[in-house]
Amino acid sequence: MSRSVVPEAISRQPWQMLVPLFGLVLLGAAVLYSAAGGHLQPYALSHVIRFLIFLAMATVISRLNRNLFRAAAYPVYGVIVTLLVLVELIGAVGGGSQRWLNLGFMTLQPSELMKPAIVLVLARFYESLPAPMTASWRGLVPASVLIGIPAVLVILQPDLGTALAICFGGAVCMFLAGLPLSWFLGVGAAASVAAPIAFFTLLHDYQRNRVLTFLDPESDPLGTGYHITQSKIAIGSGGIFGKGFGNGTQSHLQYLPEPHTDFVFATMAEEWGLLGGLFVLFVFAVTLTWSTNVARRAPDRFSSLLAAGMTATIFFYVAINLMMVMGLAPVVGIPLPFMSHGGTSMLTNMICLGTIMAVNRWNQTNRTRL
C-alpha cells in the first residue's frame, strides 16, 4: 500500500539498481572534478549533464514497445552497417583511418552503436529461428555473418577493441541461444591455435607492442609499458584509504595517461583508495546482477537474449577496462562505463541500460497481467 504514496511511473523504476548507479556517476564526476585540477569544467559538469540527458533517453527507450524493438532490429542493424561502410569510404577518400562521422552537431562513432545493435539483431534472429534448427548450420551461419560483417569493417578502421566487443556480445548471444557447447569448445581450440599466427601476421605493430608490453611492462617503462606502469603506481600508491580528494599526484602531475578517460579508475583509486575501488566494483556487481536477473526473469526468448546480451556488453567494457588499468590485460582504448568522460561510450552504455530497463518493464507488465 505504500506504493500509492509515490506515483506509479516513479515507483516502477528499478531503484535498487539506479541509486547505486547515481552514486557511481557522482563519484565519477568527483574524480573528473579533481582530474581537472578542482574545476567543474571541462569534464565533471558535462559528465553529469550527459548522464542526465542519456538517462532521460534510457527512460524513453524503456517505455518502448517490445514489438517496436522486434520490428526495428534489422533496419537498425542495416543502417549502422551502412554507416560503417560510409566511414570506411570517407576514410579511404580522405586518406588515413577514420572512426567517426561528422554530423555537424556531433561526431558519431557507428562502431559504438553496433555494440547494442548486434545484440538486438541476434536476439531477433534467434527468436525467429525455429527451435530445432538451433543446433544446425542455420543457427550458426546467418548469425556468424551478422557478427562478421561489422566486425571486419571495424577491424579495418582499425579498432581491435571495439571489434572484440562486438564479437564478444555476439558470441554471448549465440551461447545463450543454445548453440551446442561443442561448437564453442571447438572455436576456442581453433582460436588458441590461430591467435599466435594472427598475432604475428595480422596485428599492426602498435597492437603487437601493446600485447608484448602487457606481458612484460617493466621491459620498457618509459615507452609502451609506461601506461600500465603508471596506472599500477597510481592504484598501488593509493593504499586502502587513498591520498585524499584532490591529492593524487600521479594524475595531477600528468604521469597517468588519459586520467579522465581510459585510466579514470586509476585516478579514482589514487585518491579514494581500495575503498573507492571496492565501491565501484560493488555498483557494477549490483547493476550486472540486476540485469542478469532481468534477463532470467524475461518471459520470452527475444527479451531474455536481448537483456542478457546487453548485460554482457556492459560487462565487457567494465572487465576489459579494469583489467587493463590493473595490469591484467593489454592496453586497449576502452573506457569505464559511467565514470570515464566521453559521450559515445556513455551513449552506448545508456542504450544498453535502457534496453534492459525496457525488458524489466515488460517483465513487470507480464507479471501484473498474470
CB of 343 to other proteins, least distance (A): 26
Residue entry with cell 602531475: 253
Quick one: which segment of 1-9, 45-53, 321-329, 357-365 binds other proteins (CB under 8 A)? 321-329
CB of 2 to other proteins, least distance (A): 31
Binding flags for other proteins, 184-203, as an x/- string (CB under 8 A): --------------------
Candidates 79, 148, 319, 344: give the one binding other proteins (CB under 8 A). Answer: 319
- The answer to whether residue 328 forms part of the interface with other proteins (CB under 8 A) is yes
- The answer to whether residue 136 forms part of the interface with other proteins (CB under 8 A) is yes
Between helix 264-297 and helix 301-325 the angle, nearest 10°, is 160
Residue 276's nearest CA partner among 247, 317, 235, 315 is 235
- The answer to whether residue 132 forms part of the interface with other proteins (CB under 8 A) is yes
- The answer to whether residue 322 forms part of the interface with other proteins (CB under 8 A) is yes
Candidates 232, 279, 343, 344: give the one binding other proteins (CB under 8 A). Answer: 232
Q: Is 249 exposed, middle or buried (0-12, 13-18, 19+ CB in 10 A)?
A: middle
Task: Say if residues 317 and 349 touch (Cβ distance below 8 Å).
Answer: yes
Residue entry with cell 547505486: 20
158 cis-preceded (ω within 30 degrees of 0): yes
- The answer to whether residue 308 forms part of the interface with other proteins (CB under 8 A) is yes
Quick one: which segment of 6-14, 152-160, 271-279, 332-340 binds other proteins (CB under 8 A)? 271-279
Residue 115's nearest CA partner among 161, 67, 68, 51 is 161
Candidates 274, 333, 343, 366: give the one binding other proteins (CB under 8 A). Answer: 274
Cα-trace Rg, the chain:
21
Q: In terms of DSSP bridges, do strands 107-108 and 101-102 run parallel, antiparallel, or are they unpaired?
A: antiparallel
Amino acid occupying residue 277: G
- The answer to whether residue 312 forms part of the interface with other proteins (CB under 8 A) is yes
363, containing H or E segment: helix 343-369
Q: Could you list the residues that contact other proteins (CB under 8 A)?
A: 131-132, 134-136, 172, 175-178, 230, 232-240, 249-250, 253-255, 269-270, 273-274, 277-278, 281, 284-285, 288-289, 292, 295-296, 301, 304-305, 308, 312, 315, 319, 322-323, 326, 328
